[in-house]
Structure 1
Amino acid sequence: MFIVGLTGGIGSGKTAASDWFAAQGITVVDADVVAREVVMVGQPALLEIAETFGHWVLQPDGTLDRAALRQHVFLHPQDRQKLEKITHARIHVAMAQQLQAATSPYVILVSPLLLESGKAGLSSLCQRILVVDVPEEVQRIRAGARDGQTLESIDRIMAVQIARTDRLAQADDVAVNDGELTHLYQQLRVLHAQYLEMSRDH
């Protein structure tokens, strides 16, 4: 299986890019989507999170209060490690299952933290790394408009993510998303053709 890892900082447009690939019939395995799936009501991870942190992490309907938990682990780094211990292995197993089930010529593996774990992380599964890149100021504006988060909260997220220069240094391919989506899509069309060719030779 030929796997293209897709990453980028918060507000860069990873979802816009992955949605475009999906529209071309390419299987997309998204770490954020899988992370939500493994903590759905009825999943063992949700029960373990509630037992570890307390039932304040649950909303009245029993679903995970993701915003409250995200805020908590940003303020308490030691609890971030506890959360990752509960979720990471389950996320990786679920992603591996989805990758194995893919039938498209190649697969897009989306993760905002694709490069953060080094050679032992998700990037080790990928034959190519595609970075969706925007200037940091654009990231802040887009993320604030989309999520309604404060600039302080966005800056904390960006501080956890790999530096933009380091991300670009590890990229095999870069798609610049600092303007209209049509400009992004033009770049993705070229890359899609290249990936189809590479997947045939893989």
Structure 2
Amino acid sequence: MEKKSRNPISVRLTEDVAKKFKTLASKNDVSQSDFIEILLKRFEETQQDSSTLKQNIINQPFQRILSITNNLTNNEKKKYVKPMKLCFNGYYVYSIPPQNRILRRAEQFEEELKTEFDITSSLKDFLLYDSIDIAFDSDRKEYLLFEEVGLKKENENRYNFWVCRCYYAKDLEDIKTKFHIYVSDEDEKSIEMALAETISNDEQLKLFQ
């Protein structure tokens, strides 16, 4: 078998690292040059595994149900839209569990809700549920904004109004144009934190001084 040609290299190590390197090579009964090859191979394998894992994470298949049920309108065309699934490959960049959401009084947003959803009933005794999730569609290279809006009377569990809808957006600024007045401050600020550009130089830092 033909031997591989060897090229000399010069590497300066601390005393402790050099001692550990020689000891490990000796324990594994290999020369120091062969030990370097083994370490390089293991490193390459680890990097490949990490890259594959990352790729799998960002390309997970997801499904979201989109639907409209509006029992607060007299417009028959807006009362119900048959649920449909939106399937995409990607990952979520922002999401809050439903149980952590705080219901707010719908009355303070009554004018906007009535206008957008053609609601004819009074919202005086209603509570508003609103949630925003942000995902990244790896195939389309765009963000997906999922919004759920619900209205129910106080002391009742059943929602009289429930909408699950979504929008595609190119970046954070585009996402913010899709926000409605009843999107919570918590969602808006947290989404900004998740998607804002990282400051990389002093000139950018000066913008906030």
TM-score tier (shorter): under 0.3
Task: Give 1 or 2 for the bigger CA radius of gyration.
Answer: 2
Give the alignment's TM-score, normalised by structure 2.
0.22
More helix, by proportion? 1
Give the alignment's TM-score, normalised by structure 1.
0.22
More strand, by proportion? 2
By relative contact order (CA 8 Å, sep 6+), the higher-ranking structure is 1
